[in-house]
Chain A
Amino acid sequence: GAGVSQSPSNKVTEKGKDVELRCDPISGHTALYWYRQSLGQGLEFLIYFQGNSAPDKSGLPSDRFSAERTGGSVSTLTIQRTQQEDSAVYLCASSLKALNGGAPETQYFGPGTRLLVL
Chain B
Amino acid sequence: EDQVTQSPEALRLQEGESSSLNCSYTVSGLRGLFWYRQDPGKGPEFLFTLYSAGEEKEKERLKATLTKKESFLHITAPKPEDSATYLCAVRVTGGGNKLTFGTGTQLKVEL
CB within 8 Å of B: which residues of A? Answer: 4, 31, 33, 35, 40-45, 48, 50, 55-56, 58-59, 91, 93, 95, 98, 100, 103-104, 106-112
Contacts and interface: CB of A to CB of B under 8 A. Distances in A.
Interface of B: 4, 31-32, 34, 36, 41-46, 49, 51, 87, 89, 91, 96-104
Contact of B32 (A48, A56, A103): A103
A4 B44 CA distance: 11
Nearest to A108: B46
A109 B98 contact: no
A108 B4 CA distance: 20
A35 B100 CA distance: 10
Given A45-B99, A111-B43, 10 more contacts: A42-B101, A42-B103, A43-B87, A50-B97, A58-B98, A91-B44, A95-B97, A108-B46, A109-B36, A109-B45
A100 B43 contact: no
Contacts, number: 69
A84 to B, nearest CB: 21
Contact of B44 (A41, A43, A95, A104): A43
Contact of A111 (B42, B49, B96, B104): B42
Given A33-B97, A45-B99, A56-B98, A110 B43 contact: yes
A93 B41 CA distance: 16
B104 A100 contact: no
B32 A104 contact: yes
Given A33-B97, A45-B98, A109 B43 contact: yes
Contacts of A110: 43
A3 to B, nearest CB: 9
